[in-house]
Amino acid sequence: MSDSLQDIFLGRQPILDRNQHIVAYELLFRSSSQGLSANVTDDMLATAHVITHAFSELGIASVLGDKKGFINISADLLLSDMIELLPQDKVVIELLETIRVDNQIISRCRELKAMGFSLALDDFAGDSQFEPLLDIVEVVKFDLPQMGQEALEKYVSHIKRWPVKLLAEKVEDIDQAVQCKGLGFDLFQGYYFARPVVLSGKRADSSKLTLLKLVELILGDAETQEIEQAFKRDPSLSYNLLRLVNSVAVGTRHKISSLKQAIVVLGRQQLQRWLQLLLFVNQGGDMQNPLLELAATRGKLMELLAVAQSERDKDHHDRAFMTGIMSLLDTLLGMPMGEVVKQANLASDVENALLKHEGKLGNLLLLVEKIEQNDFGAAEGLLADMQLNQGNLVQAQIEAMRWANQLNEAAED
């Protein structure tokens, strides 16, 4: 990684469709040298440098897979030639609300669209100056916290005169998502899908409890036969495991056809990880669950940061992965985290990380959560406390995102 990218923070937020499938990401770039609180577009040259290098050097395009990345673009950057260095098929140019629309801006947008770029309008709030762009852009974003329900309904009704997709930004919970669906929104941005909805007295369904039991057996170094028997009690889990195992490269030319073979070929560590990921796959085997992708990315990122902390402590690496995966089980199961931890019978350091954000694992989890929230100021302080740097973080992020993307792509083949 070059010196120019050693102090970069990378943020990525999922954009979902009406079926809760991830269809794109918003990519955010911040540099501590520019000031963490400053908008990345304040310095056009620095911004262009960061973004173009992120695609060319960090390989952002590869972690997007078949999805696109939304990138905030100021008027200066929009009018510059630098934007043309970006891959047209991988980015959506997101026009900031600070842009003052004139004939030059309109002409430039038409030119970029003719080149093959997709365009979006950020934070629309009814300003008539943006109406000439509504024939050009494909997506219009509404920032929910900036407007009340009445204003939102008014502007949505107005904008339906144009053939654009509506994107609800900063969706905080499922109720907001349902309301926006009712208004005709097509796309949704925010981590509302990762917010736990805890139901009093709810218990996890039997398949999820079986998975937690299997994880416990592996952690306890149980015999292969005992693990196999636990699987055989739940045929649907056996099917899902074989489907997942056969979807990834495991160094064998033949399809894995038995549970015993899957256990032997994968090895205990990999089997443990697949079991943890299986928790996030619904009964139909849908691999497009956004919670699965977030959990997989979070677990892998924590593992890679643990490696950067202590390269030889493989037990620490495994526990970091487990902590990341387990940290979303309260949402998945609709249960308080305390109840999840009790049923999973986890090690004390993993338990303390999940319940109290304590210890090395707790700090890693907190760091990952701050990055997901784009709270780069807090992240910078945590990195220093853990003797990590931004270069460590960005490299780990890219590798973790690529791994999660490959997992999805392999399962869809």
Q: Where, residue-wise, is CATH 1.10.3210.10 in the chain?
A: 206-412
Which residues, in sequence order, are bridge partners of residue 25?
14, 69
Q: What is the pLDDT along the chain (413 residues), one digit of tens a residue?
A: 444 555 678 888 999 999 989 999 998 877 664 444 444 444 566 567 667 767 777 777 777 878 999 998 889 889 988 888 888 999 999 999 889 999 999 999 999 999 999 999 999 988 889 999 999 999 999 999 988 889 999 999 999 999 999 999 999 888 999 999 999 999 999 989 888 776 655 555 666 777 777 877 887 788 888 888 887 777 667 776 776 677 654 555 566 667 777 777 777 888 888 888 877 775 444 556 788 889 889 999 999 999 999 888 888 998 899 899 889 888 888 888 888 887 766 788 999 999 999 999 999 999 999 999 888 889 989 998 998 988 889 889 999 998 888 776 655 55
Overall CATH class of domain 206-412: mainly alpha
The pTM for the full model equals 0.82
CATH architecture of the domain 3-193 equals: Alpha-Beta Barrel (3.20)
Rg from Cα positions in the chain: 23
pLDDT given at position 41: 41
Q: Which two tokens stand for residue 388?
A: 């990590």
Q: Where, residue-wise, is CATH 3.20.20.450 in the chain?
A: 3-193
Q: Which two tokens stand for residue 48?
A: 């262009």
CB-neighbour burial class of residue 157 (10 A; exposed 0-12, middle 13-18, buried 19+): exposed
The torsion angle over the Cα atoms of residues 159, 164, 166 and 169, rounded to 10 degrees, is -100
pLDDT given at position 199: 60
Residue 411 host element (H or E)? helix 390-412
Residue with the two structure tokens 């269809």: 23
